[in-house]
Copies of this chain bind each other. A is one copy, B any other.
Amino acid sequence: MDPETQPVSPPRGSARPGGRTARTRERVLAAVTTLLVEEGYEALTVDAVAARSGVHRTTVYRRWRDAGGLLADTLDAARDEPWEPPDTGSLTGDLIEINRQIVAALTAEPSLVRALIAASFRSPAAAHALRSFWEDRYARAAEVVHRAAARGETGAGVDARSVIVTACAPVFHELVLMRIPAPADIAERYARIAAAAAGQLRVQ
């Protein structure tokens, strides 16, 4: 894996992960989350994190490189809760539920996902964390398409990831890129469209 893009948290070679190093990480990550919650991600500067954590700013720069690296490590640390795809009994219902979770993640205040997306344009670590997080989610979510195929809801040879992306991408597009105030039915609308397309033969 490219060392330029992988998470930075364990100090480069991680040869001495003992007490002080671990304590530093704990203090810094705690400062990141409290800063995010209390002041939003605009306030998430390396200097602010250093000041609040009591860890020196050069240390933060050395280990996390930039604010995006801090976000990436925070996301990794918060990935303990394993996510399971919904199982409502229909492809449409499953996609609606997935989209609703995405809408919730994008409209939360503060939204870690939005912060990570913004940071991803300036920070390789943030870009990598964003990508691997969603690739992981989409891989798990493929299950709902496979179940639908087993139920005969979809055409033959449907590519699961394409169906998921067809449902989810418009939500990101409208809420993140176009910054449209979320229409109440946006999760449903594009879930239904994706499910309708999957119902046709040979999506991919």
Which A residues are closer than 8 A to B by beta carbons? 117-118, 120-122, 127, 130-131, 134-135, 162, 165-166, 168-170, 172-174, 176-180, 189-190, 192-194, 196-197, 199-200, 203-204
Given contacts A121-B121, A170-B165, contact A196 B189 (CB under 8 A): no
What 3 A-B pairs are tightest by C-beta distance, nearest first?
A169-B173, A118-B121, A197-B197
A178 close to B131 (CB less than 8 A): yes
Given contacts A170-B169, A190-B166, A197-B196, contact A177 B121 (CB under 8 A): no
CB<8 Å pairs between A and B, sample of 20: A120-B179, A127-B179, A130-B177, A131-B180, A134-B178, A162-B189, A162-B190, A165-B190, A166-B190, A166-B194, A169-B170, A169-B172, A169-B174, A172-B173, A192-B203, A193-B197, A196-B200, A196-B203, A197-B200, A199-B200
Cβ–Cβ contact A165 & B174, under 8 A: yes
Per DSSP, are chain A's interface residues mostly helix, strand or loop, or mixed? helix
Copies in the complex: 2
In the complex, the answer to whether B179 meets A131 with C-beta atoms within 8 Å is yes
User: Residues of B contacting A127 with CB < 8 Å?
Assistant: 179
The smallest C-beta distance from A146 to any residue of chain B, in angstroms, reads: 18
Could you tell me if B178 and A166 are in contact, using CB atoms closer than 8 angstroms? no
Q: A169-B173, A173-B168 are in contact. Are A193 and B162 (CB under 8 A)?
A: yes
Interchain CA distance A176-B127 in the complex, whole Å: 10
In the complex, how many angstroms separate the beta carbon of A151 from the nearest chain B beta carbon? 18
Contact among B134, B166, B168, B176 for A193, CB-based, below 8 A = B166
Per the bound structure, the CA–CA distance linking A194 and B53 in Å amounts to 49
Pick the contact of A121: B117, B131, B192, B193 (CB < 8 A).
B117
- Do A117 and B197 touch (CB < 8 A)? no
What is the CA–CA distance of A176 and B135 in the complex, to the nearest angstrom? 14
